[in-house]
Amino acid sequence: MTAITTRISRRLACTALLVAMLGACSSTAPTDRNDTPPVKSKADAQAWAQQITEHMARTAGIEIDPATVDALFTPCTGRNGETATDDRYILMYSVKSSVPRAQHPEVVRKVRDMLVGEGLTVNGYRESVDGRPDALVDAFHPSSRYSATAETSGRGDRVYLGITTPCLLPPPASVSPTSTS
């Protein structure tokens, strides 16, 4: 197999994996704020976010530092600060990679192109601030309602990759029982 054929096969496999993962999430995505959120266990949501950030890193040609993985689960909060009693949550998942600062714009450009190709809408993009590399892409998936970010992190050589899910509902077996006292 030639190198080009191998690269094309690898990209098709990654795209198929991403479509399969998104399909599982988007097929149950609510169309109205009052609809029930998609059902996904926290473990499945974290595994999905990990796969997406790994796909972003492979696309950009960078390696994730496993010591920087951060998965934060927070309760869904309504417009007026209210929370439901069914343990619905949002996952904010992030990782970092060491990349020379001068390469940050190229890394973010590759991630942006991949995200757009996967159907996400870019909400924010930049390659520099005051003439220095300080790159950012922030994108949103319209049907699955998750966001993906790649950006320069801090003053050093770090690139941040992050995923934020929409409000998700754990499967019934993992919902904590309601107290009757």
Which of 112, 115, 153 lies closest to 133, judged by CA? Answer: 153
List the beta bridge partners of residue 129. Answer: 132
Query: Tokens 């590759």 identify what position?
Result: 110
CB atoms within 10 A of CB 151: 20
pLDDT, tens digit only, all 181 positions of the chain? 444 444 444 443 443 334 334 333 333 444 455 567 899 999 999 999 999 999 999 999 999 999 999 999 999 988 888 888 889 999 999 999 999 999 999 999 999 999 999 999 999 999 998 888 899 999 999 999 999 999 999 888 999 999 999 999 999 864 455 544 4
pTM over 0.85: no
Which of 161, 146, 168 is CA-nearest to residue 69? Answer: 161
SS3 content of the chain, % helix, strand, coil (to 5): 35, 30, 35
Q: How many helices (H) and strands (E) does the chain have?
A: 3, 6
